Structures are given as C-alpha cells and as structure tokens.
Amino acid sequence: SGADGKDACGEEEEEEEDGASGGGEEAEEEGDSGEGTEEEDEDAEEEHDSDFEELDEEQEGKQKKGSSEKQVAALCISVGSFSDPEDLPGLAHFLEHMVFMGSEKYPAENGFDAFLKKHGGSDNASTDCERTIFQFDVQRKYFREALDRWAQFFICPLMIEDAIDREVEAVDSEYQLARPSDSHRKEMLFGSLARPKHPMGKFCWGNAQTLKHEPREKQINTYQRLRDFWKRYYSAHYMTLTVQSKETLNTLEEWVREVFSKVLPSTMAPSPVEPFKDQFSKYLHLTIILRSTQTAWFVLVSPCRVKPLHYISWLIGHEGAGSILSLLRKKCWALALFGGNSETGFDQNTTYSIFSISITLTDEGFQNFHQVVHLVFQYMKMLQTLGPQQRIYEEIQKIEANEFHYQEQTDPIEYVENICENMQLFPKEDFLTGDQLMFEYNPEVISLALALLTPERANLLLLSPEHEGYCSHKEKWFGTNYSMEDLPEEWARRWAGDFDLNPDLHLPAENKFIATDFTLKPSDCPDTEVPVRILNNERGCLWFKKDNKFKIPKAYVRFNLLSPMIQKSPENLVLFDIFVNILAHNLAEPAYEADVAQLEYKLIAGEHGLVIRVKGFNHKLPLLLNLIVDHLADFTAEPGVFNMFAEQLKKTYFNILIKPERLGKDVRLLILEHCRWSVIQKYQAIMKGLTVDDLMTFVSGLKAQLYTEGLVQGNFTSTESMKFLQYFIDKLQFKRLSVEVPVLFRVVELPQKPHLCKVKSLNKGDANSEVTVYYQVPNVQRRKCQTHVSLLFRLHRGGRGGNI
C-alpha cells in the first residue's frame, strides 16, 4: 500500500493460486502438510492455555459479525495497465489514485476517505492488467450518501493538477515496496521478453521516472493525458457494479439508478495480440532467494464453464501415489510443487494464459534439474496420451460443490469484488458461482488445452542464489539479474522426439475421502454449553460436545498424546521434533486425498506430547483419523528422510537463535518454566549427531506409555466419539503412565519485585533488539489462576525506540 492506502498495480496481495499446491509457501505457513515443531507452531508456545485459542476464535467471530453489518460496494472497470500509452507507463494505475482527489460535487481532496473514516468505513482500489477495481464499506445509514460520493469518481472527478506530484510519490512508493518481491520480479522479466509493443511488456506499476521526470523532459502534459484516459476508458459499458446491503432490492436498485445514471459510455479499446512471435524454448537463470525451477506455458484459454486449466492443474499439483511430487520426494529431489494458473491479470487475460509448474528443489534436485523437468514432461505426455477422464472431473465437481454449499461467511468486501469481476467473465447465471464451481465436462476443450502444453512451447526458469555473479543481463524496472541460454542439445533433442513415458507416473485412484452423507446426527446426550468428559480411565479421557447451534455436517477432533519421556533430555526433544516431521512426511501422500476433499489435519510437536487435530465433513473424518493412527502405530523412518529432516532442524534451531525476539522468548520461558531445555541445548544436541536407531528407540519408548486426552465437537454422537479414543488404545497398545500426567500450564510464581535479564544477540549483523516487559498478577479469583501480560517492544539500533 502506498501513502494513501490504495493498492499497487497487479494483485492487492499474493492471491491463492488456482490449482493444487504441493505444499508450497502457503502450506508451510498454514501447516496444511501437518508438519510442525514446538518452535514453529503457536499451539506449543508460552502458557499453552487452550482457552486463548477459543477466545481468539470467538473474538474473530465478533469481528466478522461486525463487518457483515457494514454495507459494501465494488465496481470493476474492464481496463487496466495493458491500455497504458507507450509514452506514459503506469498511467492506468496513476489514474486509479487520482480519482480519489475530490469531484465537482464533493470537491474536498481525499474527502471520500475522510467521510468513510468518520462513519466507520474504509475503501481501496487495485489496478490489474485488464481490470481496475474500486471498493468501499460503511455503516448502513451512510450507505446512500457514500454511494453518491463514490460514483463521482466515474462521473466528474476533479483530478486536481496540483495533486499530481504528490500522488506520483504515492505510486512510486508502491513500486519501491514491490521491487523485492520475487513474484513481481518474475512477471516483469517475462514481460520484458515478449515481442515489442505487446502489452505484456509494459511497466504496469509506474513510478516517478515514468510519470513525472520523463514526461517533463519530453514535454508531455501528464494531466491532460490523464483526463483523456479517464474520458475514454472510465465508461459505463466497461463497468460492472455489485452492492450488498440490508436495504430491500427495490431500494438498492433505485439508489443505483439515481446515482450511476450519469456515468456515460465511450469508445472501445483495440484487441491485443499474442505475446510471443516465435516459440520460446530457452531457459533462464535468475538470482532469487529460493532454489526452485519453474516450467511455464503461454497459451490462449478463455474463461469458460469447462475450466480446462483448472482440471489440468488439479492433476499436475496432485501429491498422491503416481504424481510428479510423489516421485520427486522419493528421490529426495523436491520439497513442494505448485501447478496451475493464478487467475491474476498477468497470468490470465484476453491475449494469453500462463500455465506454470513451480517446484521447490533440494540440493540434489538442483543438481538434477533437467531430470526434474523431464519428469514433468513425461507426466504431461501421459495426460495427453490418456486424454481427459470424466471420473476425475466429476470428483473435482463434487469436492468444489461441497465446499461451495457449506462455505463459511466470507468477507463482504472480498465477496462483492469477486462478483463484480465475475460479471466481466461469466454469463449472468454464473455471476455468483463462476469462480467457484466447475460446470460442464467437455473432453474436446480439455484436450485442446492439453495439446498446447508440449516441451517445445515451454519456458524453463532455474532460480537460485548460486547464480549470483553468473547472470549478465538485468531487467530494467525491477533490476532482476538473469541470463538466457539455449537448451542443451541432448535435452532439446530428447524432448523434441517421442520420449518414453515413466511407468511410476499414473493418474490418481478414486478418492475415498469425498463426503456424500450430510445428515445431521441426532443427539444422544443432554445438550451442554461447554464440552463434558464422557470417558475417563487410567489410559486416557475424552471430552465431547454435540453441535446444536450451527447445525452443519462438520466436526472438529483433537487428541493430545502425553508422555513425560519427551522432556527427559534435549536429545529426546530433538528426536521428538524429527519424529513428528517424519510422521507428517509419511502421511503426505496417503492423506493428500483427504486434504483435497476438504478434510484438514495437523500434527504438532507439543511441549509434552503429540497433538493431532482433524476437522472437516464428519462423514469421512474417521477415515482420516484412523489413517493417522495407523501410520503412528507402524512408524518407520528411511535414513535419507531422517538425514533430510535433521539438516532442516539444524537450520530451524539456528534461525531461532539468531533472531532477537525468538531468543528473548526462549530465555524468558527458561526463567518461568521449571523444566525447560533451551534452544541452544537442542541445537548442541542435534549437532553432536543423532541416528535413525536413536529415533526408533525413542519412538518405541514413547509409544509404550501414554496418556491420551481427546476432544470431539460437532456432528458426532457421544457413542461414535468414544470409538475414536478406543481406536488409539487398541491400535497403539500402550500402557498407562507410571508417573503423574505432565502438567501443561504451570510457570514459576515470581517474587514481588522487579527483575531484569539482559541477553546479547547471537547475530552480530542484526541491528534489531527486543525488550519484553512481563507482568504476573497472582491469585485472580475469578479465573483461579495466574494472569500473565507480556508487552513486546522491537527496537532498531540507533532508532527512537531507545528512549523507551
């Protein structure tokens, strides 16, 4: 965001990609892969009070409810940066900023922003390649006036000439913030390689150079060109509008007609051409932080009810048996894969669609880059040979229909934005569902798209920090260093011929995790406000609450497998972290079908035990939980996998130690908790060297004695819920603990006087510091527990923060 809060050209944020992700950055953030260590997961932090999570969710629910009380509107104009004049790059983005600068009817500069802030509202706008979207929200009683003020952007904006220089600085600041982004750097690089005069090669962001300095040197009147651009493109026939309010439909229609009837039509824009004149079959080296490879195709696939690229991306991004990622993981060549089209303006527009496959490589995978790409081409050739599969298409339809029918309330602003954009892309009957559902199975359309995804049409990118100094070219606007070479003759010859298919690659089997029974279960016990304990014995207990409020066919299940063995030594803690990561790794392939069927699971290395969480449609949720327990009971670890995660944990512990806020937190918890091993001790333990035999000995001891505590909430009966705990006991065959169950939520009661602990940062190159002020208020009768308040200050050396 720039100075005035408007979003930059392109996306407002990183969009969720269309297509299956093989555990890329998003999966690492959200933990969908199930992997996690004590240091990486919020659930294992500090006081571990599970009440905090529920309170946060309750507060989030209140915020959502509050946002739904606001009235919202979004307007999409089918014009964007592709329409920028050649001599004024970034003009469409700049115009998006300038229309906020007052109107003939409401002349106050930024008056609309001030009006919304006064009445609890907000606004934003974004410029993409072929679309510009404006949106706002406000309290209900001010909605009519807000609509009128907002409509003036498109009727009679002042676009004050004196404001141009100030607003150019806002555009320039957005450009400067975007420059470090790897995704934006790749886009601009691709654009720079397109044929001359193609809109893909335009500098869509704009900056002070293109909008201020160069126009002055060339005696270009930016102000007049801005008004000409607005007059031509901010036209009624380019616009779609969505409003959401608690007013009646008749009232809303009346308001819209009154307010927007003065928006006039203009002339049409010219049709653009394809981006590349010749087949583009070279590969690029880029200097980027991550080691990864990307294969991209430029094809022309218009949005339609068949959604061929979505079908293909579902198969490319699959992680189950027979998939690209499954085979790469077995070879220890890759960690993650994404395949598909992001549906952003740069990835999909009227001139081309980008279908890309991005793979995060291991060191060994980086050395075998061409073999990795060959596997991708083999899989693509298999899809072309077998042709479209109706069974798979219908599975995707069912999964997405289930998600659509039982989706939770979305953010109102995001909702109206999506609809007004859908109105540009889909027929009227699909305005509400076009971006979420697949409608018509048409093998001919899918086959046509598949036929375009051949090796000779592919563009290969190899991204690595090791290319530093090797890349001789530099992209003009974002400064990306790159080199471009012809493909090695051996691989070019192989890919040009009729190469063999790989027998280890095959289509996914039928998905047994797709829910088909959405019946609400009858209650078999008294309704309660909070979960009650329905089972309690020496090996575990179970808490239960039937959902009689939301009445949806979903459930949430959580089990804590507690053991005092974990905290016996730093070595045990390290082995436990490795164990949880390898267990998640072993589950990644068999549990992937559950993940795509909207069942979620997560494994967490808690402080005193393994936490297993599953949620989703209750019909097939027991299948997923049983799968996790089966893999826990039959746990195995390959030496190569063990070494891979051991190396990964070394980096994880090291990164914690060099960050002042993480080190400070670790030291504070060392003071507060009776028995806690420091991250330094864990790092020393893993650096000494641990083996697979050490791990298997630890896991055997861990599973021998456990205490299992579970919680089941949602659309299950108490009788069904008790079977979950029994399955743990029967499958794991563990004995009761010989010692007391570990206490989870206990800290030292501090003496009633101030204490100061100073720790020197272990990273000499980091100028950041941290101050944490920790308050402990004992004997709060209402909660009958300690109350803790931590205040965190992050300081920069030499900054004003030193005065705190």
Place of tokens 């795509």: 596
Strand, helix or coil at 113? helix
CA distances from 52 to 49, 542, 661, 788 (A): 6, 20, 21, 12
Task: Enumerate residues 6+ apart whose C-beta is below 8 A from 751.
Answer: none
| Of 143, 359, 347, nearest in space to 259 by CA | 143
**Are 186 and 286 within 8 A, CB to CB?**
yes
Chain-centre distance of CA 355, in angstroms?
Answer: 19
CA distances from 410 to 7, 64, 735 (A): 21, 9, 46
Under the phi-then-psi rule, with left for phi > 0, alpha for psi from -120 to 50, and beta for the rest, what region is 759? beta
**Are 7 and 131 within 8 A, CB to CB?**
no
Cβ neighbourhood burial of 248 (10 Å; 0-12, 13-18, 19+): exposed
Consecutive H or E run containing 365: helix 363-367
Residue 658 forms beta bridges with which residues? none
Strand, helix or coil at 292? strand
The amino acid at 377: F
| Of 404, 392, 403, 400, nearest in space to 441 by CA | 392
Catalytic (active site) residue 96: yes
**Are 320 and 593 within 8 A, CB to CB?**
yes
Could you tell me the two tokens for 222?
């930016």
Cβ neighbourhood burial of 552 (10 Å; 0-12, 13-18, 19+): middle
Look up residue 34 and give its DSSP letter.
Answer: -
CA distances from 676 to 50, 567, 746, 773 (A): 20, 8, 12, 20
Point out the catalytic residue in the list 17, 38, 39, 96.
96
Do strands 132-138 and 239-244 pair parallel, antiparallel, or not at all (unpaired)?
Answer: unpaired
What is the number of residues in the chain?
804
Q: How many CB atoms lie within 10 A of CB 6?
A: 24
Look up residue 238 and give its DSSP letter.
Answer: G
Task: Enumerate residues 6+ apart whose C-beta is below 8 A from 730.
Answer: none
CA distances from 204 to 22, 184, 225, 776 (A): 30, 11, 16, 53
**Are 691 and 724 within 8 A, CB to CB?**
no
Residue 18 dihedral angles phi and psi, to the nearest 5° = -85, 115
Cβ neighbourhood burial of 779 (10 Å; 0-12, 13-18, 19+): exposed
**Are 280 and 287 within 8 A, CB to CB?**
no
Could you tell me the two tokens for 592?
């992937």
Mind telling me the catalytic residues? 96
